[in-house]
Chain A
């Protein structure tokens, strides 16, 4: 029982983290029609910034805040120098150009921070286990991630659906020429959206940093998961990204936790321990394959343009 609740919360926490990453990706794709492979690099940069700033300031929260700002600025600079020129080009061009950016970022990180990973230690008040149900404790930090991510998701929803900027963003997604003709500064809007996406990726990176080590290439594996999520959820749909992210987070976490035991009841011990890791890492891709067979456009496709 304890294990089930714990793994369930782990799945939720991982799913929400994936949502932060997928939201930025799907936002940038939905509005600018830009495929950004370098999104994972922004995630990595967020983690590296947080580790560095936290070490400088001696405070985890201050470091996290500074890192958030730094990824926002980095995203804006990236958009203004490079990615802006890719709008309206073929998707293949996006893939190649941002692939080049990944090479650049990985190498730049190796140059600046060295090949060894960094650690981002947590302050003492975040490491204590918190009782959530009678007799069941859960680490405060993971709980904090869940709360922060849910809060961000809510803010994002309200921001996009209820504010003037959000209205402009939605209008830009459905018809970019028209909103430009109505006198809206599209360039600025795009830069802003990209910066927002970068900050979301940075937030995901810096929150994940204390759980895993901060290392080169950390953004690449999770980027693929974010892709799977937006394919499942439907490209350009934030609601779809949210639901798919939690779904994928759950399945991945629960699969890794319980599949080995389940297999052991069916197969012999040796065969199960061989098959389990491969099968559990395949689970979400199988899920994606099933979704594709049933609904090629994803579960919650954004409304047609």
Chain B
């Protein structure tokens, strides 16, 4: 392992904070902060999954929120039809996300660059309209999940602390998986494809197959986030798939540092806390957030992780 860096210290501090948060919430009696951070952790999971294809795979998906919806609707619809067991709901959510990712990925990967951005966006928007048309499952108004996923005594999702730790465990698991993927042969091929696809093809790697597998893995991870999110809000609606939500996820990844392991997690924490802070400050928080994004893009290369790295070098 390399020696001490500022970025590592900040990451460790943040992770420790996330682990100890329920303790703080318990001691101070501040329940709101636990609810807020459950959302933060779930969206950090979604951002980390997006980072897998954006940062390591070089695939700029602008439709990642679709999986949040698919995972969520899998839980919501099954609950509506009387299937309350999480052992069924979560696998179905993952399978549905994987299927969607397989089809969308196979089509979208025929293109690259801006085309890819626009096409993933358009397909996610299609998913949004389809969900809006599901009259049986609430249509535009969304679907209330009356009962959280039931894991028959193993873990109780209605208990705030237990649910928070489940989400956090999922986040850590996904980040660990991404770390293993990024350092595997598979991940190295992907990063090679990101740098120079033609060369990799010339060496003999079937580039599209590698990218598609990565796309599907990422989609399943985000589907998991969707299933958790539906449990967190007890509600799922087409709005979770709306394209601004995909934009939010992208911003989290860029803000934290694309292609770094913990960057998206930091990005999600900072972005959502900033949103929370600004919206308490003024009703018109987006008036500040919008130009702030512009400035981050113009001046903040490499995101927070890049900034911390520069800080170190002085």
Bound pair: A and B?
A: yes
A138 at the interface (CB under 8 A from B): no
Q: Is B133 a contact of A277 with CB atoms below 8 Å? A: yes
B119 at the interface (CB under 8 A from A): yes
Q: Is B135 a contact of A96 with CB atoms below 8 Å? A: no
B82 at the interface (CB under 8 A from A): no
Choose from A95, A108, A281 the contact partner of B126 (Cβ within 8 Å).
A281
Q: Is A107 a contact of B126 with CB atoms below 8 Å? A: no
Q: Give the segment of B36-44, B107-115, B188-196, B212-220 that binds chain A.
A: B107-115
B118 — nearest CB in chain A belongs to which residue?
Answer: A227
Q: Is A104 a contact of B122 with CB atoms below 8 Å? A: no
A95 and B119 in contact, given A289-B107, A296-B111 (Cβ under 8 angstroms) = no
Q: Is A274 a contact of B135 with CB atoms below 8 Å? A: yes
Residues of the B chain whose Cβ atoms lie less than 8 Å from the Cβ of A289: 107
A103 at the interface (CB under 8 A from B): yes
B254 — nearest CB in chain A belongs to which residue?
Answer: A96
Q: Is B129 a contact of A99 with CB atoms below 8 Å? A: no
Q: Is A278 a contact of B122 with CB atoms below 8 Å? A: no
Write out, one digit per residue, whether chain A residues 207-222 have a CB within 8 A of any chain B CB (1) or not (0). 0000000000000110
A97 and B122 in contact, given A235-B114, A293-B107 (Cβ under 8 angstroms) = no
Choose from B125, B126, B294 the contact partner of A82 (Cβ within 8 Å).
B294
Q: Is A104 a contact of B126 with CB atoms below 8 Å? A: no
B123 — nearest CB in chain A belongs to which residue?
Answer: A285
Choose from B107, B118, B286 the contact partner of A104 (Cβ within 8 Å).
B286
Choose from A95, A221, A274, A293 the contact partner of B136 (Cβ within 8 Å).
A274
The distance from the CB of B286 to the nearest CB of chain A, in whole angstroms, is 4
Residues of the A chain whose Cβ atoms lie less than 8 Å from the Cβ of B292: 100
Residues of the A chain whose Cβ atoms lie less than 8 Å from the Cβ of B297: 86, 89, 93, 96-97, 100
The distance from the CB of A2 to the nearest CB of chain B, in whole angstroms, is 28
Q: Is B293 a contact of A96 with CB atoms below 8 Å? A: yes
A164 at the interface (CB under 8 A from B): no
| Size of A's binding interface in residues, CB under 8 A | 43
Choose from A89, A104, A228 the contact partner of B290 (Cβ within 8 Å).
A104
Residues of the A chain whose Cβ atoms lie less than 8 Å from the Cβ of B247: 95-96, 99
Of A100, A230, A277, A293, most B-chain CB atoms within 10 Å: A100
B291 — nearest CB in chain A belongs to which residue?
Answer: A104
Cα A29 to Cα B117 in complex, Å, equals 14
The distance from the CB of B112 to the nearest CB of chain A, in whole angstroms, is 9
Residues of the B chain whose Cβ atoms lie less than 8 Å from the Cβ of A204: none
Q: Is A285 a contact of B122 with CB atoms below 8 Å? A: yes
Residues of the B chain whose Cβ atoms lie less than 8 Å from the Cβ of A227: 118, 121-122
Cα A160 to Cα B285 in complex, Å, equals 41
Write out, one digit per residue, whether chain A residues 96-120 have a CB within 8 A of any chain B CB (1) or not (0). 1101111111111011000000000
Residues of the B chain whose Cβ atoms lie less than 8 Å from the Cβ of A221: 125
A91 at the interface (CB under 8 A from B): yes
The distance from the CB of B52 to the nearest CB of chain A, in whole angstroms, is 16
B134 at the interface (CB under 8 A from A): yes
Choose from B121, B135, B243, B290 the contact partner of A103 (Cβ within 8 Å).
B290
Interface members, chain B 286-309 (any A CB < 8 Å): 286-287, 289-294, 296-298
| Size of B's binding interface in residues, CB under 8 A | 43
List the count of A-B residue pairs having beta carbons below 8 Å apart.
125
B250 at the interface (CB under 8 A from A): yes
Choose from B133, B250, B289 the contact partner of A96 (Cβ within 8 Å).
B250
Cα A279 to Cα B250 in complex, Å, equals 29
A292 at the interface (CB under 8 A from B): yes
Q: Is A103 a contact of B133 with CB atoms below 8 Å? A: no
B62 at the interface (CB under 8 A from A): yes
Cα A277 to Cα B250 in complex, Å, equals 30
Q: Is B117 a contact of A91 with CB atoms below 8 Å? A: yes
Residues of the B chain whose Cβ atoms lie less than 8 Å from the Cβ of A228: 118, 122
A100 — nearest CB in chain B belongs to which residue?
Answer: B293
The distance from the CB of B217 to the nearest CB of chain A, in whole angstroms, is 21
Residues of the B chain whose Cβ atoms lie less than 8 Å from the Cβ of A107: 284-287, 290
Residues of the B chain whose Cβ atoms lie less than 8 Å from the Cβ of A93: 297
Q: Is A92 a contact of B60 with CB atoms below 8 Å? A: yes
Cα A281 to Cα B123 in complex, Å, equals 11
Q: Is A106 a contact of B286 with CB atoms below 8 Å? A: yes
Write out, one digit per residue, whether chain B residues 81-92 have a CB within 8 A of any chain A CB (1) or not (0). 000000000000
Write out, one digit per residue, whether chain B residues 131-167 have a CB within 8 A of any chain A CB (1) or not (0). 0111110000000000000000000000000000000
B240 at the interface (CB under 8 A from A): no
B229 at the interface (CB under 8 A from A): no
A105 — nearest CB in chain B belongs to which residue?
Answer: B290
Q: Is A35 a contact of B117 with CB atoms below 8 Å? A: yes
Cα A35 to Cα B135 in complex, Å, equals 35
Q: Is B286 a contact of A292 with CB atoms below 8 Å? A: no
Cα A230 to Cα B114 in complex, Å, equals 11
Cα A109 to Cα B134 in complex, Å, equals 31
Cα A252 to Cα B293 in complex, Å, equals 34
A278 and B286 in contact, given A35-B117, A85-B298, A92-B60 (Cβ under 8 angstroms) = no
Residues of the B chain whose Cβ atoms lie less than 8 Å from the Cβ of A245: none
Given A99-B250, A281-B133, 18 more A-B residue pairs with CB atoms under 8 Å apart are A29-B114, A92-B254, A96-B247, A96-B251, A97-B294, A99-B251, A101-B290, A102-B290, A235-B115, A281-B132, A282-B126, A285-B123, A285-B125, A288-B119, A292-B119, A293-B110, A296-B110, A296-B115
> Can you list 26 A-B contacts with CB-CB less than 8 angstroms, sorted by A residue number?
A29-B114, A85-B298, A86-B298, A91-B113, A91-B117, A95-B247, A95-B250, A97-B293, A103-B289, A104-B286, A104-B294, A110-B284, A224-B121, A224-B125, A224-B243, A230-B118, A231-B118, A231-B122, A274-B134, A278-B130, A278-B133, A281-B130, A281-B132, A281-B133, A288-B119, A288-B122
